[in-house]
Structures are given as structure tokens and as C-alpha cells.
């Protein structure tokens, strides 16, 4: 657990991973009968090209994109000022065009037309006669200008989600090694944590530990204590942590290599032993975790899994978590498994497949109760059954 991620994941491994990922996208493009896909989501761009550039900033400033072809080499359209970042990753790097109002103001329509014309020209350059392009995230200006110039845009996020869902063994090893840096960071934070500190102090120690170990950024601020653990999804605050408080956290850290380090743990802070109420919450969450982990297997359908998932007590159902489980790779990924109580909000069926990595989500907090317990662990659907990737221990003495 003390090894440096960058030293272990060498260039040969990275090259194999990148070749595998491009092959995954090309296979999904062929299945969709589409010759190319344009990617604006910076996480998808990273998956397809291995490049990163101001990942959070470019999530809301649309200024770089990549085009991946079923039968041709990829093209990265990068900011002129930072094209050097992609050298060594992509051979064909070209200047990007943006329609973001912040950048181009009332010239957005003009820039949109230029973008569409450049895409049509690129398709022709690659020998593609059909003016059809999959897209993962659609900017309205680009959609309207594409319609005017007869460039057919089709939904492409499903192509990327399905491609990313099935990992290579190299990816799973990298995900595991990245996760170890997260677990080290949790352990270091816990060792320093004392009653009298703020929730924000604990989160700062966690993020600092992750970055020191090669991590990149947090996606959420989900570390809370005491009464702020119930209901869940209250963000970290300046609340002073008291002796005997339950602390619950969901790491949600983008670790080394861009891998999503996603575990949740809960424990009592300070010297007081857990109360009977805290023990009961922990016991229920742990039982939910064990049951749903053992239930996971390749070939099972998503809705079947939901049906057989651990049944929470009635008093805990109103505060249930957002999902039973979700895919994990460079972020929260396909599939997303809903509670059957939430079917109307988008539950869908599908099949778990070998070499998916799935995070089992557990939260137990009574409606109107004082505290709640959050547990989560990533599980690899290996050829011989589910394999837990997380090594950070549970509080077995609470059971």
C-alpha cells in the first residue's frame, strides 16, 4: 500500500490500456452502425485518448473535444494554449472551436457553423461519405447548426458507457492500486482526527492525503458527523465533531490515473464506545453490504438484482440511498441499479457482465432518526465470482 502508483503503472501498461479502450469504443461504434463519435465530456476524452486538461473546468466550459473513428486514427481538438499536454498521447492534435458564450459571445452561431463544417470536412477526410456523427454531450448551438447543415447527430453516451463498463485486467489492477492510495488517505485522516475538530478539517486531511499520493480531485464533499449523517447527502460543514459522534464518509476521490476511488465507511469518533443505537445502524448497513455483495454475479439482470437486494426495515426506507449499486471506473458509470421503490425515476434492465466493477451502496438511517451509517465497496465481477477490491476494514467489533 505504500508503493508509488506512477512507478507501478508503467508506460507499457498504459499503452495496453489505451489500445484496449479505443478498441472498446470502436466495437461499440460498429454495433451502433456509426463511423465516428465526438466526445466533449472530459472523462470520456480521457478514457479515449489518455489526455487530461483542467478536468473540472472543462466540464462546464466547452472548449476541447475528440473524435474517435471506427476505422481511422483518433483526432483530438485541443485548446491552442495547451496542445502540448497531449503530445505523446495522440498523434493528430488540432485547434478546437468553441461556442461557449463566455469565450465567443455573440459569435456563437458563427463558431457553431464553423464547427459543423469542420466535422463534415473531417468525415470526408477520413473517407466517410455519410454525414452522421455520434455525440456524448450536446451543446444546443451545435445541435441547431448541425440541423441547418444536414449533419446528423445521434446519441452517443450509451456507446461510451457500454464501452467503459467492461474493464481489462490491466484497468482492474490500476483501479485497485489507485484505491489503495485512497485507503491510505482515509487511514491517515482517521489517525489524526480528534473531537473538537471541524468536519471540514477531516475532509481537508482526506483530500490532502489523496493528492500527496498522486490523486487529483474530489467529486463530492460527503463527510458528515453526528446528526448531519441523517439524512444522507448533507455536505461537509464547519460543525465541531463531538466525542461519541458517528462519522460517515463517501470518498468520491479521483485518484492516480483518473480512477474513481469510491468507498464509504462509518465509525465513532473519540473514546466513547458505540451506543446500542449506533451498533444497530451499523449492523443493518453491514448486513446489507454482505447480502448485496454475495448476490452480485455475471449473468444476473439488474431488475432481478434489485428484487433480491437486502430489504431495509420500514423505518429506514424513506431515507434509503439513491441507488443499490453502480458501475465504477473513471467515475460513477453504467450500470446504475435503482431501488424498486424508485422505478418511476428511470430504472432499467440489463445484465451484469464479467469484468464489470460495481460499487455496492449501503446507507441506513431511520426517518427522523439521529444518525446514519454509510458503507460502500467496489466489487469486481471476476470469472470465478465477485471479488471485493477494497481492503479498508469494517468496524467488526460494532457487530
- Alpha carbon distance 376, 383 (integer Å): 22
Tell which residue, 92, 93, 147, 90, has the closest CA to residue 116. Answer: 147
> Considering just the CA atoms, what is the radius of gyration of the chain in Å?
23
Average pLDDT of every residue of the chain: 96
pLDDT bucket at 3, cuts 50 / 70 / 90: low
User: Residue 45 and residue 60: Cα distance in Å, rounded?
Assistant: 14
Rounded to whole angstroms, the Cα distance separating 174 from 326 reads 19
On the question of pLDDT at 1 being above 50, the answer is no
Residues 269 and 274: their CA atoms lie apart, in Å, by 9
What would the pLDDT profile of 131-178 be if each residue is shown by its tens digit? 999 999 989 999 999 999 999 999 999 999 999 999 999 999 999 999
> How many of the other CB atoms lie within 10 Å of CB of 175?
24
**Residues 6+ positions from 72 with CB-CB distance below 8 Å:** 36, 126, 127
pLDDT higher than 90, residue 34: yes
284 membership: H or E segment, kind and range = helix 276-295
Q: What is the pLDDT of residue 9?
A: 76
Cβ–Cβ < 8 Å for 44, 160? yes
Q: What pLDDT, in 10s, does the model give residues 312-348? A: 999 999 999 999 999 999 999 999 999 999 999 999 9
Q: How is 116-170 classified by DSSP, letter by letter?
A: HHHHHHHHHHTT--S-EEEESS--HHHHHHHHHTTPEEEE-HHHHHHHHHS--HH
Candidates 63, 48, 301, 295; CA nearest to 161 is 48
In the prediction, which pLDDT does 6 show?
Answer: 60
Is residue 23 within 8 A of residue 15, CB to CB? The reply is: no
pLDDT tens for 107-117 read: 999 999 999 99
Exposed, middle or buried by CB within 10 Å (0-12, 13-18, 19+), for 80?
exposed
pLDDT score of 2 more than 50: no
Average the pLDDT over 381-393 and give the result: 95
- Cell of residue 379, nine digits: 466489487
Q: What average pLDDT does range 228-245 have in this prediction?
A: 98
Cell matching residue 158: 450509451
- The answer to whether residues 150 and 131 touch, using CB atoms and an 8 Å cutoff, is yes
Note the pLDDT of residue 224.
98
pLDDT above 70: residue 396: yes
Q: From CA 252, how far away is CA 300, in angstroms rounded?
A: 27
> Can you tell me the mean pLDDT for 23-50?
97
- Per-residue pLDDT at 4 exceeds 70: no
pLDDT 10s digits, 71-110: 999 999 999 999 999 999 999 999 999 999 999 999 999 9
Please give the residue that has the higher pLDDT: either 244 or 4.
244
> Residue 385, Cβ neighbours under 10 Å: how many?
12
**Cα–Cα–Cα angle for 312, 318, 321, nearest 5°?**
70
C-alpha cell belonging to residue 226: 453526528
pLDDT confidence band for 10 (50 / 70 / 90): confident
Domains annotated for the chain, with CATH where assigned, are 5-164 (3.40.350.10), 166-398 (3.90.230.10)
Query: Do 284 and 369 contact (CB within 8 A), yes or no?
Result: no
Buried b (16+ CB within 10 A) or exposed e, 4-25: ebeeebeeebbeebbebbbebb
Angle at 91 between CA 17 and CA 355, to 5 degrees: 15
Amino acid at each position: 500500500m505504500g508503493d508509488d502508483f506512477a512507478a507501478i503503472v508503467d508506460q507499457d501498461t498504459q499503452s495496453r490500456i489505451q489500445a484496449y479502450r479505443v478498441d472498446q469504443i470502436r466495437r461499440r461504434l460498429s454495433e451502433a452502425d456509426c463511423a465516428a463519435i465526438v466526445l466533449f465530456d472530459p472523462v470520456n476524452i480521457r478514457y479515449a485518448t489518455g489526455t487530461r486538461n483542467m478536468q473540472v473546468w472543462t466540464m462546464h466550459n466547452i472548449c476541447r473535444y475528440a473524435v474517435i473513428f471506427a476505422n481511422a486514427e483518433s483526432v483530438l481538438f485541443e485548446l491552442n494554449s495547451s496542445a502540448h499536454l497531449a503530445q505523446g498521447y495522440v498523434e493528430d492534435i488540432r485547434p478546437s472551436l468553441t461556442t461557449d458564450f463566455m469565450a465567443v459571445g455573440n459569435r456563437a452561431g458563427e463558431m457553431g457553423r464553423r464547427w459543423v463544417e469542420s466535422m463534415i470536412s473531417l468525415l470526408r477526410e477520413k473517407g466517410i461519405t455519410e454525414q452522421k456523427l455520434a455525440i456524448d454531450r450536446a451543446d444546443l448551438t451545435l445541435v441547431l447548426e448541425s440541423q441547418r447543415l444536414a449533419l446528423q447527430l445521434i446519441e452517443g453516451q450509451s456507446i461510451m458507457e457500454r464501452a467503459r463498463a467492461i474493464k481489462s485486467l490491466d484497468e482492474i489492477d490500476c483501479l485497485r492500486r489507485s484505491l489503495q492510495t485512497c485507503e491510505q488517505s482515509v487511514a491517515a485522516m482517521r489517525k489524526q482526527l480528534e473531537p473538537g475538530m471541524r468536519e471540514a478539517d477531516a475532509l481537508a486531511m482526506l483530500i490532502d492525503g489523496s493528492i500527496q499520493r498522486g490523486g487529483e480531485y474530489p467529486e463530492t464533499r460527503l463527510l458528515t458527523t453526528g446528526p448531519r449523517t441523517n439524512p444522507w447527502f448533507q455536505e461537509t460543514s464547519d460543525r465541531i465533531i463531538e466525542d461519541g459522534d458517528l462519522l460517515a464518509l463517501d470518498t468520491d476521490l479521483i485518484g492516480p490515473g483518473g480512477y474513481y476511488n469510491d468507498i464509504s465507511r462509518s465509525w465513532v469518533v473519540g473514546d466513547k464506545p458505540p451506543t446500542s443505537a449506533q451498533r444497530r445502524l451499523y449492523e443493518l448497513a453491514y448486513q446489507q453490504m454482505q447480502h448485496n455483495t454475495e448476490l452480485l454475479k455475471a449473468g444476473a439482470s439488474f431488475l432481478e438484482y434489485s428484487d433480491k437486494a437486502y430489504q431495509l426495515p420500514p423505518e429506514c426506507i424513506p431515507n434509503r440511498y439513491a441507488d443499490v449499486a453502480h458501475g465504477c471506473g473513471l467515475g460513477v458509470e453504467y450500470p446504475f441499479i435503482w431501488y424498486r421503490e424508485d422505478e418511476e425515476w428511470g430504472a432499467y434492465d440489463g445484465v451484469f457482465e464479467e469484468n464489470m466493477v460495481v460499487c455496492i451502496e449501503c446507507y441506513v438511517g431511520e426517518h427522523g432518526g439521529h444518525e446514519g451509517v454509510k458503507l460502500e465497496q467496489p466489487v469486481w465481477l471476476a470469472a470465478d465470482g465477485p471479488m471485493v477490491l477494497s481492503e479498508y476494514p469494517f468496524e467488526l467489533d460494532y457487530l
